[in-house]
Amino acid sequence: MSGRVSVLIVDDSAYMRVVLKDLLESDPDISVVGAARDGMEAIEKVKALSPDVVLLDIQMPKMDGVVTLQRIMKEAPSRVVMLSAMDKMDDQLPLKALELGAVDFISKPSGPVSIDIVNFKDRILEVVKGAAATKVEVLKKSRTATPRRIRPIEEDSVKGHKVIVIGASMGGPRALEILFASLPRDLPASVLIVQHIPYEFSLTFAKRLDSASGPRVRLAADGLELEKGNAYLAPGGKHLMVTKRGRTQLVIRLDDGEPVNFVKPAADVLFKSAAECVGKNLLGVVLTGMGSDGAEGAVAIRHAGGRIIVQDEQSSVATSMPLSVIDAGVADKVLPLDKIPEEIVKFLEE
């Protein structure tokens, strides 16, 4: 894609349509090519205008945003970013939208008609421009991907306390669901996850990953001891770190420091801390995402004797995170998403 990013705004509020248009067009690289007030009008305009990005409100009369998204992805597949008002909605809906093929979601700060949405201008511009760089064909495939459960692992075959750290961003929620649905429930290792996601969706997303029936998933909390067979998701707005208690016990620490790579939590923070504590028994996995978070941490893992797996470009919704690790020269394996679970098992059995 070249030139300005073309955007279609879909919102039942006339006020929000005007505010979002002014906000988006304050960036010279973005052009609003149309607006729609409901789902049926949105589908017609997506077909007529072929925008680079559709900014779609979840709460609308006649046809809500989730149903509209399903129709768009079936009839005219597009890059869709959902707008969600957290004060009056089911917090499962944005995650359901990601499962159905949405690229990302943006929270309206103060309800369906958010007077203060202009205060979140930088975040909105970042997400819309990032969405424009994603691959529609991968979004389509992710909707229908069927996870393949891989064989269980005998715990006696795994030497030491092995740890898997995972970093993901744009496109990550769906990729993580597919990954966890493929891994055995009683994985003889601890897993720690950094997914760039707002705080208000963290607990819901942890529960959603847990329901995939792979390793048990819980929201990370300060002071928790790492246990095999358990995965820990970093809460939005906190850095997730690994420290040692005594000589061998691994413990979670949550840190409220400054953002790293413009994000908090940051995969680099997790990866570097785990590299110091775990060394050669550590596997780092970098999945789909925008930016370069995870690259410096991957270097630290390799220097400590650990291994790195990177999701390949063809199966990633957004490629810059995995490509930054490949460019750093530290990727041991570059694999499509559906091949990563088997490689994790191989690492544990080595």
Which residues participate in catalysis according to the annotation? 169, 196, 293
| Full strand arrangement of the beta sheet holding 30-36 | 30-36, 5-10, 53-57, 80-85, 104-108
Pairs from 294-297 (Cβ < 8 Å, separation ≥ 24): 294/167, 294/267, 294/268, 294/321, 294/324, 294/325, 295/268, 295/321, 295/324, 295/325, 295/327, 295/328, 296/268, 296/271, 296/272, 296/328, 297/165, 297/167, 297/267, 297/268, 297/269, 297/270, 297/271, 297/272
147 prior amide bond cis, ω within 30: no
Q: Exposed e or buried b for every residue in 92-115, given b needs 16+ CB within 10 A? A: ebbbbbbbbbbbbbbbbbeebebe
Dihedrals φ, ψ of 259, to 5°? -55, 150
Question: Residue 304 carries which DSSP code?
Answer: T
Helices assigned H by DSSP within the chain: 14-25, 39-49, 65-75, 93-99, 121-132, 136-144, 172-182, 202-210, 267-278, 295-303, 320-327, 340-349
